[in-house]
Amino acid sequence: MSPVELDFDSCYRAVSARDARFDGRFYTAVTTTRIYCRPICPARTPSARNVRFYRHAASAEAAGFRPCKRCRPELSPGDPGWDVRGDLIGRALRLIDDGAADEQGVAGLAQRLHITERHLHRLFVAELGVGPLAVARTKRLLLAKQLLTETGLPVTEVAFAAGFGSVRQFNATMRETYGFTPSELRATAGPRAVVANGAAVAGGATLRLRLHRREPYDADGVLAFLTSRAIPGLEVADHTKYTRAVPGGTLTLTPKRDHIALDVTVDDTRQLARLVARCRRLLDLDADPDAISEVLGQTSLAPLVAARPGLRVPGAFDGFELAVRAVVGQQISVAGARTLLGRIVAKAAAPGGLFPTPARLLDTDLTGLGLTNRRIDTLKDLAARLAEGHIDLDGGQDPAEAVAALLEVRGIGPWTASYIALRALRDPDAWPTGDLVLNKRMAALGISHDHIERWRPWRAYAALHLWSSS
């Protein structure tokens, strides 16, 4: 079965113009050099007869091309189309980014998605031209390439941080795929690998990585949103940066001129791929602001879109954490919810000050924290369903099925389920039904409710525009 084909003329025009809107949507492979690039590569545009286009970096590598050292494909923002579709392939790619294939293998990945391994492979080949194993391998290689280029992490640590089982496997795979060893790549990076690396600290290593995004990007808006909702004891945020506890350490996200600086201090670098993926989702770095503005800018929201063209929908670092936030925040102020969540973390936090897991929350007595008995019952029911695997809020479950399962939890209604879909499930069309603030803002702006349907498929972004305008 042939993979879904790209329109050659459209892709070539984008490459010729170095159009940043297409960065991450496809890759350009040059047959004369056997190198593949991002559409924005500064190198001279190759002749059309020597070009091939691929949807995914793994497809280009499977065809025998190696990544360009100038434009660095490992820095490409993700393809926003997968969130819009929310289908099996999109969910599988999210789980691969989260390290599911490295930890559980393709069989475990298929199990998370409730399909057979054979069917999953067939879907990947039909869509991308390669199987999920090849995609996972490319993810590992590109993360390793970024670590070798941007940090001073020893090659041995890079191998494990990128998800390889051994240094020998890492060396062999990189030489076979890219034509050079990790040490040879590190040598070409020169002093940058040392300068970009953070200082060693007790209990772990501090690493700095660049997370690229699509422009425009409303960093101030994202930080303001996260700051007002930062849980005491878990997160610290202000108008310049966001910091939170993670397993074995902390991470800090700081907006820069053309990227987000991610500083990570952890005991075990093997979780690095998962942390990068979750930070990208938390900050909504892979969204397509032009596509969103094109739709919303033609509606009654046009003045809001013009005022904040790079607005993003902040995501979730962890699906269960976000669901607890949504339940606790029902019918109370943001500040009130923040206080209650801080008390929950203080009493039930996992070792290292982490947000409690579903199992840990189930075993914790939540009375005396200011929560109503009904709210405690809802949290316990929610935690039990996640602990038992009936609900998956981290990418494994179809969004519509996850929302339906959430609505079966006692005390979760359409607003709560929609809010979870908007932030944790990354549904760009989720709409928090019945939200009082949204209703007030629409009334103040003279927008009737029949306009809501005109904002599809970007109603989540419409909601953020309205919330942010208050």
Alpha-carbon distance of 376 to 382, in angstroms, equals: 10
Alpha-carbon distance of 210 to 256, in angstroms, equals: 9
Local structure of 207: helix, strand or coil? strand
Burial degree of 55 (CB within 10 A; 0-12, 13-18, 19+) = buried
Report CA-CA distances (Å) from 178 to 145, 155, 234, 416.
Answer: 10, 16, 41, 47
Alpha-carbon distance of 38 to 48, in angstroms, equals: 15
Catalytic residue among 11, 37, 41, 68: 37
Lookup: tokens for 89: 């392939």
Alpha-carbon distance of 451 to 294, in angstroms, equals: 16
Task: Pick the closest to residue 98 from 418, 319, 360, 299 (CA basis).
Answer: 319
Alpha-carbon distance of 134 to 70, in angstroms, equals: 23
Burial degree of 195 (CB within 10 A; 0-12, 13-18, 19+) = exposed
Strands in 27-30's sheet, in edge-to-edge order, are 51-54, 27-30, 35-37, 66-67
Q: Torsions phi, psi of 153, nearest 5? A: -60, 130
Cβ 148 vs Cβ 124: under 8 Å: no
Which stretches does DSSP call E strand in 41-116?
Answer: 51-54, 66-67
Q: Residues with Cβ < 8 Å from 87, sequence gap 6 or more?
A: none
Local structure of 67: helix, strand or coil? strand
Helix (H) or strand (E) holding 440: helix 436-444
Alpha-carbon distance of 308 to 465, in angstroms, equals: 8
Cβ 134 vs Cβ 119: under 8 Å: no
Indicate if 37 belongs to the active site: yes
Cβ 55 vs Cβ 23: under 8 Å: no
> What's at 228, amino acid-wise?
S
Indicate if 435 belongs to the active site: yes
Local structure of 244: helix, strand or coil? strand
Q: Which residues are catalytically annotated?
A: 37, 435
